[in-house]
Structure 1
Amino acid sequence: MKKSICTQQPRTNNKKHTILIVDDNNDSRVLLKTLLKGHGDNPTIAENGKKALKKIADKKFDLIISDIFMPVMDGFKFCQTVKEDGNGRNIPFIFYSAAYKRKEDEEFALKIGAARFVRKPVEPKKLLSIIKEVINESEKREFALNKAIVPNNDEKEIASLYSERLAHQLIHKEEELHDSEERLLSISNTINDAIIIIDSRGIITYANKSAEKLFGYSNSEFIGQGLCDTIMPKKYANAHLEGIKQFKKTGEGNLIGKTAELCAKRKDNTVFPIELSLSSFKIRNKWHAVSVIRDITPRKLADALLKKSADTLQKSYGGMISALSHMAEARDPYTAGHQLRVAELARSIAVEMGFPSEQTDGIFLGGLIHDIGKICVPAEILSKPGKLSDIEFKIIQNHPQVGFDILKEITFPWPIAQIIQQHHERLDGSGYPNNLSNSEIIPEAKVIGVADTVEAVASHRPYRPSLGIENALEIIANGRESAFDTDIVNTCIKLFNEKQYKFA
């Protein structure tokens, strides 16, 4: 005995239309619901025919708009069930489908009691017009009297037509799926990267042409084999087998959704570097993984050559800077070794403060030639044992600018020319040659400035003996914040007092 769905009563024209939307596609449901609500109607949604029947049993509807191709109960079966119910047959029914488009589909839809058969897509204005027409017909009872009743003697014909429509659509879907698979296969085989798919056991179920070419296996040699038996080096085997256990349960793993650089093995057992991108998907409740594999041997070779070139260039820079350092000190025997000692102290400060290695290298090399500008200072001034005159002192003060002018056209990976130009600048603007202050002075020059002051005070000079390291540290300590960067000064003092740093 069939359950009565609901008794539909005539509505007054000023009442909102209560409309049931049945579609398995969420986007389609939301769009149609939004459209109807925007025009003053009261829509309700269901994902398939079976759920829609439950809603009809609990609520009165003025109209049903249904898709056809849906899981659990399709639109045709849903419409038949509604129209065969003694109390539900008067609900007007509109099919709104993108999957069923043949003339025979429309004829069958109308035969089982639908008022209209609308093919997606359709303009919203047109769809609203159709809805209005169908509801008006229903209210005038035209649809109920002429079309809603399905004669008993048509039951066999209806069943036959339904089976025919369903079979045709399934065949059509199968053809679409086959065409889609063919397209994906064609695309996969034109991609230069190797693509390998494994199941939840780690067994290869698919390998494209590029995979065959890259690893040296034929397709038949790939399919049905494990990764450990084909392309995976032994060093990864244990981790892979453990990972497969987790992947089988959850579809997750250490490399799922990531790109990593690893090694792979060819059929001839040669091992080479690869870039692996891994993702997962589910079919029939079982996890599968797609590996996109790229041979990065050329990239690694290029990186190695680039590193070799960079190392060679670095040595060339170092050799050039060392030569300039010796040239400057050859003219000033009293300061021989000064630049090297400054460079070594500055580097130690930078390392202790956590400067990046590249920046630390620049500080060291800049320290090696920070006084290169003194090659333009007359030797008698450099080695004068007595006090310098004002003019002589101004000549000495010009050496940072001279050093900058000598090196400014040379392109170094570090700001060498700026380090030389600014190593006598001070935070309060009292330095030279440009009276720069605080943030205008680059960090490298601030470090060299502290190291230079400490070494100069602690060493012998033509005009005075060494004042000792304690006096040197006291001078920079007193100059914190005014002349020197506080963190740099504190680090320098820490090196001498706590880490027993000593000049070589």
Structure 2
Amino acid sequence: MRDALHILQLEDEPADAELTERELRKAGIAFVSRRVLTRDAFVAALEEFRPDLILADYRLPAFDGLEALRLAQEKLPDVPFIFLSGAMGEEFAIETLHQGAADYVLKGRLSKLVPAVERALQNAEERRARKEADAALRDSAERFRNMTESAQDGIVIIDDNGLITDWNSAAERMFGYRRQEVLGKDMHALAAPPRYLDDYRQHWPNFRTSGRGAVIGTTIEAAGLRRDGGEFPVELSISAAPIQGRWHAIGIIRDISERKRGERALQRSNRFLRTLSRCNETLIHATDEFQLLRDMCRLIVEVGEFPLAWVGYVDSGQPQSIAPMAWFGEHAEEFVADHKASWPEEERLGCPMCVTLNTGDIQTVKDISAYGGCAPCQVRARLFGYCSSIFLPLKGAGGTVVGALAIYARETDAFGRDEYAILAELAADLAFGITTLRERGAREESARQLERALEGTIQAIATTIEARDPYTAGHQKRVSQLAEAIARALAMPEERVGGVRHGAEIHDIGKIYIPAEILSRPGRLNDVEFKLIKMHPEVGYDIVKDIDFPWPVADMILQHHERLNGEGYPRGLKGDEIVLEARILAVADVVDAMASHRPYRAALGVDAALEEIERHRGELYDGAVVDACISLFRRQGFSFA
């Protein structure tokens, strides 16, 4: 990976480019930047500079931003493209997103640039990871197909509607139908004698919902129906596997008029494939690293029918040591607990788990009773009936071995070439899951630390206000309580609810610049004094606008006295020009102001306040916000704490 991001700027104003770079540096982003002005220079930079991120103005004297987006998508489709413009209409901005832009940011609001960049880069990384996962899935499917094609027995897979989804060459020879002729056809209507249909129809609904049935996991003798209408005796083994969230039946069909060749190998392959499928399903839903390890060990034992699976990590605190992390199976806890935590050099060289942890190579023991190394492990394994084993490395970022997965079998030489490949894939998938969970945990902790820091900033500001004017502080606390309750009633996402709460806590910060004698004056204010009061949203906005909050706190402060019909201040904004958070804050502010005592008048009470906002619903105040507020007081019993 590169040490620094390569950022390509399509920008004709050097000063704007410098402001952009300064904003990125403030956020601690390491980058190398190249600025271009023309189409030819842009195309050359795509090929030579190979950017990780593109920031583009949408209109230049000699080049068009949308054309640049088209070229970038053609040559570097995975590189995020963000429009950075001085003025961009909403319709045009939406169109750029439809055309494939990752985001857009106005030059007048550069505080939103870093979150947009981080979000775009994270989305690009997630897309890359999904592509890799899809490629791995396709490779697994191809591997599975190769295995089934080499099988001597017929292998047929049908979905939960009874339709054929796979049909190998051996099945073609048995039934007389080529694969392309049967895909999507009803298996029982096509290749089973009619006498079996009643039992099939009776038991199939239960299989569709549970993957269970009387014949699932068993081997039975039955009859198949050839293309020419003739019946032939078969031995049929049926198992269930969840594929893309739906139960599928996997049938292994053997013409018992022939010798039973390869029976054991096929059954074993089927078992391994079921294990891989179930383990991958667990990986998709995993949220905790150690629960993932326990679930994987359990599935290997329960689905794979192995007596023991366990995971050991390299103990970073004690060199040449194994730290058992998870285990499942017969005698598992006893076996793992008795496993040496550290070992001398001579034993370490003979222990297959140790060799895997130290070299990163897969180790197999075909016959534990004949294995000459690691005598203590050999004695325990023979005592518990383990006959063969495999040790698979778990590799993290950069190929570093973080641990190993050990699987034991009751039969000798249980891990053949095909099974070896499947288990290697399973271990690679598990290692990827571990790495993903650790990275996700690190990102979440970083986000929590940032939010705590921002909350601390807000509390520090609120404390400053309270020290100067306890009345204003009390008003802000009550407005914050009501605004938060309204936001929740509107079913806003929890992170936006937090933003509403924090913005309301300091919405009157601009009053810190207004003389205290004006704020507390009991009589009517003159025009000059009232104009001074009306400046507090702008003053508050200027105080906090450069703080990089993840919520629109500055806009809330600036707009909380704006009104839907444009009669508010300081800028006379209308309708949706006012952010939703500020519309919520406007209603909460009016209700508390009227319901509470003011220096120049006694409290008017909550009922009068609710009548006021109801009277001007849709005119001055947002209708949905008003309805939520009234419901809180009149139906849900809200009161100020």
TM-score by length of 1: 0.47
Q: Point out the structure with max Rg over C-alpha.
A: 1
Q: Which structure ranks higher in relative contact order (CA pairs < 8 Å, sequence separation ≥ 6)?
A: 1
TM-score calculated relative to the size of structure 2? 0.38
